[in-house]
A and B are shown apart, each in its own frame.
Chain A
Amino acid sequence: GNSVTQMEGPVTLSEEAFLTINCTYTATGYPSLFWYVQYPGEGLQLLLKATKADDKGSNKGFEATYRKETTSFHLEKGSVQVSDSAVYFCALSGSGGSYIPTFGRGTSLIVHP
């Protein structure tokens, strides 16, 4: 079946540090890949997505590239801010005829001033 594996958290960084949150997936075919973010007290919201191999999704300074050869979709940001503190979820959809999103376990990011 489909699955998404994310690095364990929490990830703790100082402001302006470089961020990488790893995500790998197992799926058949060519799913779409997503990063969702959950800020404290809020629901999940879409951060970025990529729909085919080698696509790069980007938003709010975050980027992730769909790597078919390594089945990965790592999230990166060059300079994090305190306001980026949240839980980040990697997800996929559209594998094996199912369009129901499959999520990873989430990675908590804590950014200190």
Chain B
Amino acid sequence: EAGVTQFPSHSVIEKGQTVTLRCDPISGHDNLYWYRRVMGKEIKFLLHFVKESKQDESGMPNNRFLAERTGGTYSTLKVQPAELEDSGVYFCASSRETSKNTEAFFGQGTRLTVV
């Protein structure tokens, strides 16, 4: 079974530009999460999809970030316009169910650098 895949693995963009990150979860996993890790700090939750619906987007930093999950399959996270503080590693994770014991399966992350 294929794991969670993220594209691209690295992205370097200039301040003010737009970047779109993509995540393909494990097939059959209704739950999809986006997280971000700024260098040396904790992995911070951004948002949670259940199928195509946003279940919780309390971690989205501001309205420059837009996440979608059309058809409940892959998800995109768009940053527009990008700012310097958006730099970090963006992780996507998926899980089959939502419970306190559920393991989340992670992609390898997209390293975003805004210059």
Number of residues on chain B facing chain A (CB within 8 A): 28
CB of A53, distance to nearest CB on chain B (Å)? 13
**Could you tell me the distance between the alpha carbons of A29 and B55 in the complex, rounded to whole angstroms?**
22
Number of A-B pairs, beta carbon distance below 8 Å: 63
A93 within 8 A of B: yes
Chain B residues, Cβ within 8 Å of A101: 33, 45, 93, 104
B91 within 8 A of A: yes
CB of B35, distance to nearest CB on chain A (Å)? 7
* A49 lies within 8 A of B41 (CB): no
A interface with B by C-beta (< 8 Å):
4, 31-32, 34, 36, 41-46, 49, 51, 89, 93-94, 98-106
B interface with A by C-beta (< 8 Å):
3-4, 6, 33, 35, 37, 40-45, 48, 56, 91, 93, 98-109
